[in-house]
Amino acid sequence: MPLIGLLAAHGAELWPLRQRLAGRRARAGVVYGRLNHCDVALQAVGQGWSRATASAARFFRAAPCAGVVITGFAGATEAGWTVGDLVMPDLVIDLRRADGGPDGRSYHPTFPVALWRAQLGWRGGTLGTVSGVVVEPAGKAEVGARLHVTAVDVETAAIAAVAARHGVPWIAARVILDPMDRPLAVVSPWHAAWLAVSVAGWGRLGQFGKDVVFAQRQLGGRLGDVVELMDQACGASPEAWRRQRGVPHDDERTA
């Protein structure tokens, strides 16, 4: 059976998946098991471009995946998204040097995301990978309006680039943690520690904790369906794989 990889920045983003794994075991920093009767390998790659790039490269060398899901939390940069909404983007753009516009590379998922979204009820859009966390509503709104992205994170384009170099098909499947009109309440472990000892920060930290738990539940409850579709696609015949991706057969090209 094909092995499906699941990569996220932090262990907290993979925790709800780990809880659902059957036959869970770890080897060389990678957690293996079965999710929805599919063989999977999980790893937290760390936050940011450099860490994600190095960790993803090690992961693909250690775990020969037939496909990979890049997952975790994202921040919305358009109105109309709420905590727990699920996004499976059509395009991922490297926005790290986007002061004058989206001049970085763009990456198209290898799998038929429009078809999968219709089957699973996820939403689409464009995901931007930025150099640092966008915290305030005004900043998120500005990024969304100027660069025409639905949501942002700090790892997806990096992992997509590594997957492409290793010839591993991929998609991104993320959950919104902070909507556009709300600030990201906690930006680092140090920030969380400061809020924990600040009376004024208790409410903010408490709400953030509730948002994280809800987002985890949404992601953990729905990623198994994505893994099943990827497992089926990776185990399909070359002809079925072409048709899933909308690539015509040679006979159809000349018809």
pLDDT at 47: 87
pLDDT at 207: 67
d(CA 214, CA 43): 21
Q: What is the pLDDT of residues 226-250, one digit of tens each?
A: 999 999 999 864 455 455 555 444 4
pLDDT at 199: 43
Instruction: Cite the DSSP H helix spans in 63-136.
Output: 113-120
pLDDT higher for 93 or 210?
93
| pTM summary value | 0.85
Instruction: Match 């995901």 to its residue by tokens.
Output: 127
Mean pLDDT (the chain, rounded): 84
Complete domains list, the chain, with CATH? 3-248 (3.40.50.1580)
pLDDT at 140: 86
- For the residues 7-30, what does the mean pLDDT come to? 93
Taking the chain, what is the end-to-end CA distance rounded to the nearest angstrom? Answer: 35
d(CA 98, CA 87): 22
d(CA 173, CA 122): 9
